[in-house]
Structure 1
Amino acid sequence: MTVVRSRPVADAEDPTLLTGAERARRDRLRDPRDRAAYTAAHVLARECVAELTGLRPADVVLVQRCPGCGGADHGRPFVAGRDDVHASLSHARAVVAAVASFAPCGIDVEARGDHPAPRGALSGRERRWVEGQDDPGLAFLQLWVRKEALVKCGAGSLATAARLDVLGDDGPTGACGPFVLREWRDAAAVGAWAVAEHPSR
């Protein structure tokens, strides 16, 4: 089972659900819009975990741990006390998204607009496909959100994003290796989530 949600950033999110570490990290963000989006995404992730597990959102504790350096102020979110549950979140000021599953999962959402492709983000074939589309900005985002979601699953890194093949014969693909990929979009944003086909429990 996988629970996926996205919604606009709301001013009324309950910041008391966040841990002290989360509030400290949020408070280091200078722009109030970023602070609001951070809070909204972390609350939404708790709601997804709660729906998946039957816990109350207030009882879901999210912690972050970097697999590279071991730091606790960044990295992939984990659900404290629930090694069987995977969660991911994303925010883009105006919109937030989250996913929870019993299998490795990841999610990304990006606001529509001018997003220059980071160096090394796309393969040559992907770049040519983007350049040939009527809306290259949207085409890039369709690929980029898939790659970000896969990276959050642990399928690769942003430094090697070009190696994550998310372009099929007819456009952005619905799978990459053992991961299922799904996209959603509206007038304001484009997002994608990825989940491993087989639960980890």
Structure 2
Amino acid sequence: MNWDKLEFTNHETYFEIAREHIQKSQKTDFDLNEKLGVNSSTYQGKSLMPEDAAYLLQSLQLINKSNIITVVFSALVAESFINYYAISNGKDEVYLIKFKADKNLGLGETVVKWIKIPHDINGNFVLTTGSAEVNHLQKLFIDRNKLAHHKASIQNIASLDWSKIPDPNSITLLDAQNANQSLVTCLEALKQVDQSIDISWLSS
């Protein structure tokens, strides 16, 4: 925080929302396992009493809702913070709008910003093309885009296997955990090359 300027930012609030919901998802998953002996990744194919099946369905819906919120708000943090980083280092809107997705590398606009902006500002790469960190960040935005451009799925009941109903739009707990961790990894990597940034809010 620069104390001689007034900053209008949302990345800390977005992160708080993402963190609250990943914790909520994890707790619901734990409670589900405690009650039924299955969780959101192991329930398929299990035979349950009707009342247990109802509890399972309710829990899965709560978990999916929290997972969705975690992914969306983790992506919002990644977008808003890299833009804030550029602006707080003297860049302007004209600079920011020059960044485009790299279709050849399969990288979205925000991922390209995370690769190029830190290098433009301090000469160091925080993320490098082809690295696991870049791949994980891109996966976060793939999941976010899947949610932002949701496509409904309508299936024939007669052809469904009720023990395993696939939802192409679902976000798993593992997806949500990886999304949030990918964000944290990027922020911590940026802190390593630029000690001036404040990321204390990650642990507050």
- By the TM > 0.5 criterion, same fold? no
Structure of larger gyration radius: 2
Q: Name the structure with the higher strand share.
A: 1
Q: Name the structure with the higher helix share.
A: 2
Per chain length, whose mean CA-contact separation is higher, i.e. which structure has more relative contact order (CA < 8 Å, sep 6+)? Answer: 2
TM-score when scaled to structure 2? 0.28
TM-score when scaled to structure 1? 0.28
